[in-house]
Structures are given as C-alpha cells and as structure tokens.
Amino acid sequence: MTPRSVPRYETRTLQPDLEPDADPVLYAMQYAVGGETSPASEDCAEPQDWVLRHCGQNPSHHACREIFTLPWRTWRKT
C-alpha cells in the first residue's frame, strides 16, 4: 500500500503586511507616454520631485501615474 495525500482545506484571508519585518511600502512615478519611471522610494516626495524636474526638462510631458507598492500577506483564518 502506498501513502496518499489528503488535501487540507483552510479558510485564508489577505491583508496588507504591516509586520515589522515586512517589505517597505514603495512609491514611484511613471510618465504615461514613453513609460519613463522614477526611482522607487519609501518617501513619496522623492518621486514627486523627480516628476517636477523631469517635466521641467521635457515640457511636452504632462500625464503621469503613481506606482504604489504595498506588501500583502495571507493568513489562516481561525
């Protein structure tokens, strides 16, 4: 007789990882046309400053988006 695996079903939940050892929340900005992207930073002001400098050097660049990276973690629901 060979061993068989029996699946175990659990209820899990998903939530932002706010534990002390979690990856940091990161911010970046990206131009909609061309896709140039600022360096990622834990401080949202740094990518915003990058946009203002970049726009000053490239006056035709107007539309951009924020890239927000938030770590998530699954937990077993009890």
Tens of pLDDT, residues 9-19: 788 899 999 99
Domain membership flag for residue 46 = yes
Q: Is residue 67 assigned to a domain?
A: yes
25 pLDDT band (50/70/90 cuts)? Answer: very high
Residue 30: per-residue pLDDT: 95
Does some domain include residue 6? no
Domain with 64 in it: 23-76
Say if 64 falls within a structural domain.
yes
30 domain residue, yes or no: yes
Q: Is residue 70 part of a domain?
A: yes
Asked if residue 12 belongs to a domain, the reply is no
Please give the pLDDT value at position 57: 87
pLDDT in tens, 36-77: 999 999 999 999 999 999 888 888 888 999 999 999 999 887
Q: How confident is residue 1, by pLDDT bands cut at 50, 70 and 90?
A: low
Tally the domains of the chain.
1
Alpha carbon of residue 46 to chain centroid: 16
Q: Evaluate whether residue 2 is within a structural domain.
A: no
Which pLDDT does position 70 carry in this prediction?
Answer: 96
Q: How far apart are CA 42 and CA 71, in angstroms?
A: 12
Q: What is the pLDDT of residue 5?
A: 76
